[in-house]
Structures are given as C-alpha cells and as structure tokens.
Amino acid sequence: MLQSSDYSYPNGVKSTSPASNPNSYNPVKTTSAPIEQATIGRSLVIKGEITGSEALYIDGRIEGKVMLTDNRVTIGRNGIVQADITAREVVVMGKVTGNIECTDRVDIRSEGMVNGNVITERISVEDGAVLKGGVEVRSGHQKQKGSSQSQGKTADAPKPAPAEPHVVAAIVGA
C-alpha cells in the first residue's frame, strides 16, 4: 500500500496524480431521465382543449382550454394564450388572457402579462410584469377544509353571490 502522495515510475519520474490507482475513488456519473415536456412552437396555433400528463411549453398561440392538473405549463416569451389554464404550476413569460387555477404556484416573470383571475397556493410577480384581475391565494389545508364543508351542506342552502373581480396589480416596467 502506498504511504506517500508521490508516485514513482521505473524511469525515476515522479507524479502526484494517481492515474492508475485501483483504490482511488472515481464517482460514477449518472444521468437522470430528462423531464418530459411537450412544446408548442412559435408558428403553431391550436384551438380547442389541451389535456395530458406531461409538462407543456407554449411558444405559439392557444385558444380554448388547457388542463394539465398535475403538471407545469410554461408560456414562453412568444406565447399567446387565450384560454383558462388549470395546472399544478404555471410560469408566464408571454401573454395570458383567461383564468389561471393552480394547485401549487403561479410565477409571472418580468416580461409576462396576465389578464384574468388567478387562484393558487403561491404566487410570484416580478417587477415589470402585468397582472389585471383578481387573486385568491389558498392554503392546502383551506382547500381540503372547504371541500369537506361543501359535502355536508344541504341543497336548499343559498349560494353566495360571486364577487366582482378587482384589479389587484397592474405593474408596468419603466
């Protein structure tokens, strides 16, 4: 077993690197599976309902409804969405006209624009982003509590009138 960090070779040359030491630790590089993400390119226009079980990146134009309840929807810088979006997470860098409902978070980047109501557990609006519409931030506990209460109600109970949407934030970059 070697006691020194210097390795000598038969011709008298010394080296400080253990190039062929069988006891040296060389971590094995592992590759993780790539994130499955569908992409709608900038020249594509889709009218209708989009559903699926993978993440979606939109750089084109969508009109209708986007329902990816367990996945992420990203609207790219060139993306224009005129649809209601239901997803786990939504990132907006383009333009959205429609309501957004997320089970996790909405992230509106500085170049993003949303014109519609947002219901989510967490929200992030960067400087320069535009948000016109109502915002409802729910906790996971509140959502479960609300659904259990609604099951116990009778059909004769009056329903409260829906609140008018208010402009919560209109942030325009300088």
Question: Is residue 130 domain-resident?
Answer: yes
Question: Structural domain of residue 47, as residue ranges?
Answer: 36-142
Give the Cα separation of 135 and 107 in Å (integer). Answer: 13
**Do the domain assignments include residue 153?**
no
Q: What pLDDT shows up at residue 20? A: 55
Q: Would residue 133 count as lying in a domain?
A: yes
121 Cβ contact partners less than 8 Å away, ≥ 6 residues apart: 102, 103, 104, 105, 137, 138, 139, 140, 143
Nearest to 84 by CA among 74, 96, 95, 98: 98
The answer as to whether 58 is a domain residue is yes
pTM for this predicted structure? 0.64
Tally of domains within the chain: 1
- Residue 169 domain-assigned? no
Token pair of 106 as six digits:
């909405």
Residue 20 lies inside a defined structural domain of this protein: no
The answer to whether position 149 is within a domain reads: no
- The one-letter amino acid code at 121 reads E
10 inside domain: no
**CB contact at 8 A, 108 and 114:** yes
What is the chain's pLDDT, residue by residue, as a tens digit (174 residues)? 545 555 555 555 555 555 555 565 565 555 555 668 999 999 999 999 999 999 999 999 999 999 999 999 999 999 999 999 999 999 999 999 999 999 999 999 999 999 999 999 999 999 999 999 999 999 875 555 544 444 444 444 444 444 444 445 555 444
